[in-house]
Amino acid sequence: MQALNEMKGTARLALWTGAWTASVALATFGPRHLWDLEQPVASWAAVALNLAVGVGWIIAITRYLRVIDELQRKIMLDALAVTLGVGWVVGFAYVVADAADLVANEGTDGIAALTGLMGVVFMIAFFVGRIRYR
């Protein structure tokens, strides 16, 4: 029963993660490839959809944490803590570097790189946790 609930929770979380990723792609590339930049309504709708799906994703993560067993929860929370720490430290370093005019690329490149870095850090921290308690 526990295993079945975990499988359902994992599948639900994977669906929400995929939906959120798709909504990010839509909000990022939609204005250039699917509709004109002169259509702000469509762009705002894509951003609103991205935010709404993001809220659903957060809820799915919290529900997933309730479904999994206590060791899996510890591994997940440890990985999330490391990810938050890296995001916080690197994010503030970026802000400080930007304030000192040390950042060459303006715009969303830095934010995109930070979210990508956080994703990689989470995956590494999660698998390290899985191996540690194997």
Partner 1 sequence: MKNRITDLRADRGWTQADLAQRAGVSRQTINAIETGKFDPSLPLAFRLARLFDRKIEELFLDDQ
Does residue 72 bind partner 1 (CB under 8 A)?
yes
User: d(Cα 105, Cα 21) in Å, to the nearest integer?
Assistant: 24
Closest alpha carbon to 60 in 92, 20, 118: 20
Contact 134, 88 (CB under 8 A): no
User: Which of the ranges 22-30, 52-60, 68-76, 99-107 carries the binding residues for partner 1, by CB under 8 A?
Assistant: 68-76
| Helical ranges in 1-134 per DSSP H | 2-29, 40-67, 70-99, 109-132
Does residue 78 bind partner 1 (CB under 8 A)?
no
* Residue among 8 and 130 whose Cβ is closer to partner 1: 130
Does residue 3 bind partner 1 (CB under 8 A)?
yes
Does residue 69 bind partner 1 (CB under 8 A)?
yes
Sequence letter at residue 104? A
Does residue 62 bind partner 1 (CB under 8 A)?
no
Residues at the contact surface with partner 1, assessed by CB under 8 A = 1-3, 6, 69-72, 74, 130, 132-134
